[in-house]
Structure 1
Amino acid sequence: MMENSQNDSNETKNFSVEQQDNSKVDVSRRHFSRLGAATPILLTLASRPVFGGNCLSNMMSGNLSDPDRGQCGPGWSPGGWRNPVGEINGMDTLDAWAAAGYYYGELDGNDKSSCVKGNGVIKNKRECYSGGSVYADTPLPGSDTRTLIEILGTNDIKKHCITALLNASLSENTGGFNYVLTVNQVVGLCNGSIPVPGGLSLNNFLDSTWI
């Protein structure tokens, strides 16, 4: 009887895990499906050299595992990249920043008394970091003296471009996932040399490439 009970328990756990995995896939596909109206334009752009080597057509098809189209997936959101104690692509957020080629900042308390615990230890919170890579460190268009972390906390269009750039850079520099845009494509979309597909706003298009 105990053996049967244990088997039933294992089957229940396996079923629960399977449901969770399917849920994650469904969320990704639903997110990508928001761009369905732009499919013809995206597929046309995807055939051009500037869009070579990525998975835009796969994203638009809603089939993220079609071997004939390559493997691709969504990146991480602005909130994910801003969270210093989170995880991105299986690594700590700060390590992901370094792998992408950028610097999150230094945990030094940022001259804020609220960042220091009673025992003198600095709290590991976003507002307790100072410095970090600035906008001028990126290949994105325009000028800005703010750090990337500062911009990621705004509603500025640059927030979306920075997020896409971080995802694309991490994808190109490491294994584990293949983001739907390359660094050059992100720059082209953000400087206007590549038209945003389907008449969508740049914000909406880029927002649909992460979850």
Structure 2
Amino acid sequence: MMTIESEKSKPVVSDHQKVDQSKRSLTKVGFTVPVIMTLAGRPVTGFGANCLSQEMSGNASYTGAGSCELGSSPEYWKSPDSSAAGSLITQESQSSATVNATWPGGSGGSTTNKQVTIKKTIKSTSTPYLWTGINIHYGDLIKIDTIIEIIRNNDALSEGTIVTIVSISTNFSDNPLTEGQTLSVGTTTTNGNGGANTEANDCANFSNGVSFSAVFGGGIDEPMRKLLCESTDSIESHAIAAYLNALQNPNYILKPNQVIALYNGVINVPPNYTNLEHFLSATWP
């Protein structure tokens, strides 16, 4: 692995490529971007590609084998490292309501307008996940168990019984009941976004995670995980994948601060590439 020295001259940025200075400011992310000139024009392809710093204008005559490696695509980075989940964080809350309700059963085929006590218990289990090989918060896999118990005359209705609320004397402290609403006795499990699936291989089941704007010093204020979930073709998803590649593999073609500088327009997109997405997609198979 050859040692590469960073250039200390200012980057060459043409007038038509200048961006708003507020977007260029990287002081929010707490580091100084090393100043690197544009590529000499050779596309980045295949294993052994040249590092961005190897192709600076001051080193354009470099002809040896490249010492950098390709990374992984946005599709790869959509999922967390399922083998390295953090410790469980469990929360539980309870509330109760007194109502008149009707449910199937009884001697006449149903029990009509009888007073019952409804006890609702919510157990929330949050498991934080990281990205593979990187100490960055991917998101939290949140599983929510909503447990409904309904008691009449000290006897609990059997699991699976569906009751219809007729009138309400006292209500839940959160998510109040309404007249005509139906409830099923038993446990309903959902993920933190309300879906029934709670598997860790589905990025849509997660909540939270490090935000794009916190890493890139601006842009969309949404979790990077969520942006990858929504689209792997956007400029943000390309920048995220390149940034994570740079963190995971020190031999990746770009360094983390170079990725951020490219996104913010501080470094020009190299020649022979139509835009930043085109260039970044050439840095993975």
Q: What's the TM-score bracket when you normalise by the shorter of the two chains?
A: 0.5 to 0.7
Which residue identity does 1:195 align to in structure 2? N
Is the CA contact (8 Å cut-off) linking 1:80 and 1:86 kept in structure 2?
no
Which residue identity does 1:135 align to in structure 2? F
Matched, 1:187 2:260: yes
Partner Cα distance (2:213, 2:193) in 1: 24
The CA deviation at 1:113 is: 3.7
Partner Cα distance (2:49, 2:276) in 1: 26
Matched, 1:74 2:74: no
Look up the match of 1:170: 248
Is the CA contact (8 Å cut-off) linking 1:59 and 1:72 kept in structure 2?
no
Look up the match of 1:159: 237
Is the CA contact (8 Å cut-off) linking 2:134 and 2:248 kept in structure 1?
yes
Q: Deviations over 1:35-54 (max 9, x none)?
A: xxxxxxxxxxx9862459xx
Which protein has the bigger helix share? 1
Q: Which structure has the larger Rg over C-alpha atoms?
A: 2
Percent of pairs with identical residues: 29
Using structure 2 for the length normalisation, give the TM-score: 0.43
Q: CA RMSD in A?
A: 3.6
Look up the match of 1:198: 271
Which protein has the bigger strand share? 2
Look up the match of 2:222: 146
Look up the match of 1:83: 79
Among residues 162, 187, 194, which one is paired with 1:112 in the alignment?
194
Matched, 1:129 2:200: no
Aligned length: 145
Cα pair distance change 1:168/1:191, threshold 3 Å: same
Which residue identity does 2:136 align to in structure 1? Y
